[in-house]
Structure 1
Amino acid sequence: MTVPDASAALPEAPPRTWRGRLALAAKLAVTVGVLVLLAVRADWSGVAARFADLSPGWLALGVLLKAAGILFAGERWRWAAASCGAVISSWTALRLMLAGLFLGQMLPGALGGDVARGWLTYRAGCPAASVVTAMILDRLLALVGVVVIMFVGLPHLVTASPPSVAWAPPLATLALAVGVAVGLQIDRVPLPAVLLRPPVTALLDQVGRLRNALFTRAALVSGFHAAGVHITTIAAVVAFARALDLPVSPMDALSVVPVAIFAAALPISLNGWGVREGAMAAGLALFGIGSAEAVVLSLLIGVSVTLLTLPGGLLWLTLKAEAPQR
């Protein structure tokens, strides 16, 4: 496949401005602040004893489940790209996903890994417009998968929530679903002529391309793989809980983990660290799990992903080596 001239299609990244530095500092403050707050308030006395009796089998199963989640994520990217007219093999998609996840751990920002994966996919010969749409679709399908699973776990979460706030989870989930549906129709809303300028029209055109890609068989297959990523994470939390002898049932995890996944995806911390742990601690507290134990469960998820994506560094070099082929 012919590789396009990158210099002619994509501009150089602009230098980081003071606003960018301020945003990065704010994310760092949120990450550190939440982790410190959890560490101070948590009772760590029993955690060491649980690690002393850690079950290696359950721990290995949790790591294997997270590895399976990466395989699902690779296929999610392959089919998302296919729905936008970009054809890549399963092996290439997995390498791109691993490289993107690895770089996402290194880059300060929730979208760093996505942008890196998109750039490498473009360097592999896929059209720039298709890659941009696929990147947005990939994120959207991951969000839709979380929303669907959140709906499944809502009854169990509501029954465990205090009556005064039991209405909040269903309302938030419904608002999220409605927001996604409305956002996909925004290009069909009549706008005043004064607003129809290139930045706005480009955005509206992108929404139209995204909607067209969403209603394809390839996007449906990608959506199933997106759900697979979240389900393996939920199962991994249960396995890690068994390894630590924590009474976390599959339904408990189904109710809490999707909320933590969504919280971690918000661009308010460094790659979701801190926010994910806070959401896990708050959610699992409803089912009698201490904040220290919940934080450890969340950290096991984050650390396992980090370790599993280390090969992505080598794959990134391999993908870069393929770029000069024309």
Structure 2
Amino acid sequence: MKAEKHRKIPWSLLLQIVVTISIFVWLFHKTDWTALTQRFLQIRIPWFLLAMFAYAVNLSASSLRWGVILRAAKKHAPAAWLLRLNWVGAYFNQVLPGSVSGDVLRAWYTRPQTGSTTLALAAVFADRFIGMGALVGIALLGYLFAGHALHLLPGMGETVAILSAGYAVIITLILSPGLGFLEHRIGKLGHKLHDIRAGMGMLLRNPSALLSTLLLSIFVQLCSIFMFWALAHSLGEHPDAVAFWVVWPVVSLFLALPISLAGWGLREGLLVLYMGSLQMGHDQALALSLLAGTTVLLTSLPGAWLWLGIGRHPLAKGEPLPR
């Protein structure tokens, strides 16, 4: 009888589990459970539903941005197909480890439309990257024009500066022809890197497509900010404007890091830290953060239903749609 082989837990997943649990243990140790429960019982439902609607608009608009990016690469996929995949991707980003599982699925199911896995990944990466650029821009402008409350946020100036500089460096690397020398020396990985850079470069050098994606990205992130604003109102909170134009964009950027389970724990820790600096109590800030995560999760749930039978869809198999 052969011994059963046990799969080892990947270190990345183990790290995410440890980070998520550790932050929640620290947060819950300081939590007044009675006060936290009371906060949730007093939620203003219309504001909460408005927040869910805002996130649904966010998902819909981001699928349009994805379509623009594909057209810039001279590829095409029906808008309804991209919308379905975007919702599926949002769902799996919430229920699978890491923060990009759903993005990998989006790329996998658009292989027939792009002609290659690498180009499909490049389009999804560009979609994410442009969206992050809008967040960086909003955070930077918010920081530059913020009022007196800005000085209350610990290390926010340095954080915004590092995020802005990092984003600029990545753009420079994408457009730099100097990386071609490295790509030829690392085999298959180099070819994939070349294809991704070529796809991104095609978008960044296409003024009309770039403008469209930037405008859509700004709209998408404004929907996200509006969601956060509506959630604060649903809890009866009215924080300073810097919370919406600086804190939330910065927190959203950190959630792209695959160091916690779907952002849980990391989001709560950062919001408790920053919102606490803006004179919001621990329990109020934790309630707001948990409500934000719940809103994203609940709004993404239709993606589970949309995923059913997706592998049998003609477009997933590279077949034309029936007329």
Asked if Structure 1 and Structure 2 have the same fold, meaning a TM-score greater than 0.5 normalized by the shorter chain, the answer is yes
Match of 1:66 in 2: 55
Matched, 1:149 2:138: yes
Q: CA deviation at 1:318?
A: 4.0
Percent of residue pairs bearing the same amino acid type = 25
Matched, 1:309 2:300: yes
Match of 2:213 in 1: 222
In the alignment, the residues of structure 2 paired with residue 235 and residue 163 of structure 1 have an alpha-carbon distance, to the nearest angstrom, of 21
In the alignment, the residues of structure 2 paired with residue 324 and residue 208 of structure 1 have an alpha-carbon distance, to the nearest angstrom, of 26
Q: CA deviation at 1:202?
A: 4.2
Q: Give TM-score scaled by structure 1 length.
A: 0.84
Match of 1:8 in 2: none
1:26-45 C-alpha deviation (Å, 9 max, x unpaired)? 11111111122112123444
Q: CA deviation at 1:248?
A: 1.9
Match of 1:174 in 2: 164
Q: Which 5+ residue runs of structure 1 have no aligned equivalent?
A: 1-14
Matched, 1:127 2:118: no
Counterpart AA for 2:209: A
Counterpart AA for 1:51: F
Q: Does the aligned pair in 1 maintain the 2:39–2:287 contact within 8 Å?
A: no
Counterpart AA for 1:240: L
Matched, 1:34 2:23: yes
In the alignment, the residues of structure 2 paired with residue 324 and residue 30 of structure 1 have an alpha-carbon distance, to the nearest angstrom, of 39
Match of 1:255 in 2: 246
Moved more, 20-29 or 164-173: 164-173
Q: CA deviation at 1:159?
A: 4.6
Counterpart AA for 1:177: Y
Q: CA deviation at 1:114?
A: 0.1
Residues 280, 144 of structure 1: CA spacing in aligned structure 2 closer, same or farther, 3 A cutoff? same
Matched, 1:232 2:232: no
Residues 45, 215 of structure 1: CA spacing in aligned structure 2 closer, same or farther, 3 A cutoff? farther
In the alignment, the residues of structure 2 paired with residue 295 and residue 135 of structure 1 have an alpha-carbon distance, to the nearest angstrom, of 32
Residues 190, 109 of structure 1: CA spacing in aligned structure 2 closer, same or farther, 3 A cutoff? closer
Residues 132, 177 of structure 1: CA spacing in aligned structure 2 closer, same or farther, 3 A cutoff? closer
Moved more, 199-208 or 146-155: 199-208
Residues 251, 188 of structure 1: CA spacing in aligned structure 2 closer, same or farther, 3 A cutoff? same
Q: Which 5+ residue runs of structure 2 have no aligned equivalent?
A: none
Match of 2:311 in 1: 320
In the alignment, the residues of structure 2 paired with residue 286 and residue 70 of structure 1 have an alpha-carbon distance, to the nearest angstrom, of 31
In the alignment, the residues of structure 2 paired with residue 153 and residue 214 of structure 1 have an alpha-carbon distance, to the nearest angstrom, of 25
In the alignment, the residues of structure 2 paired with residue 188 and residue 283 of structure 1 have an alpha-carbon distance, to the nearest angstrom, of 40
Matched, 1:183 2:173: yes
The DSSP-based 3-state class of the residue aligned with 2:214 is helix
Dislocated runs of 4+, deviation >6 Å: none
Counterpart AA for 1:56: I
Match of 1:266 in 2: 257
Q: Does the aligned pair in 2 maintain the 1:154–1:255 contact within 8 Å?
A: yes
Matched, 1:203 2:193: yes
Q: Give TM-score scaled by structure 2 length.
A: 0.85
The DSSP-based 3-state class of the residue aligned with 1:46 is helix
Q: CA deviation at 1:94?
A: 0.8
Q: CA deviation at 1:108?
A: 1.3
Moved more, 233-242 or 42-51: 42-51
In the alignment, the residues of structure 2 paired with residue 56 and residue 197 of structure 1 have an alpha-carbon distance, to the nearest angstrom, of 55
Q: CA deviation at 1:61?
A: 1.3
In the alignment, the residues of structure 1 paired with residue 121 and residue 104 of structure 2 have an alpha-carbon distance, to the nearest angstrom, of 9
Residues 290, 223 of structure 1: CA spacing in aligned structure 2 closer, same or farther, 3 A cutoff? same
Q: CA deviation at 1:198?
A: 4.6
Matched, 1:92 2:81: yes
Q: Does the aligned pair in 2 maintain the 1:158–1:166 contact within 8 Å?
A: no
Moved more, 67-76 or 50-59: 50-59
Q: Does the aligned pair in 2 maintain the 1:38–1:292 contact within 8 Å?
A: no
Counterpart AA for 2:114: C
Q: CA RMSD in A?
A: 2.8
Residue correspondence of structure 1 range 72-83 to structure 2 within 5 A:
72-83=61-72
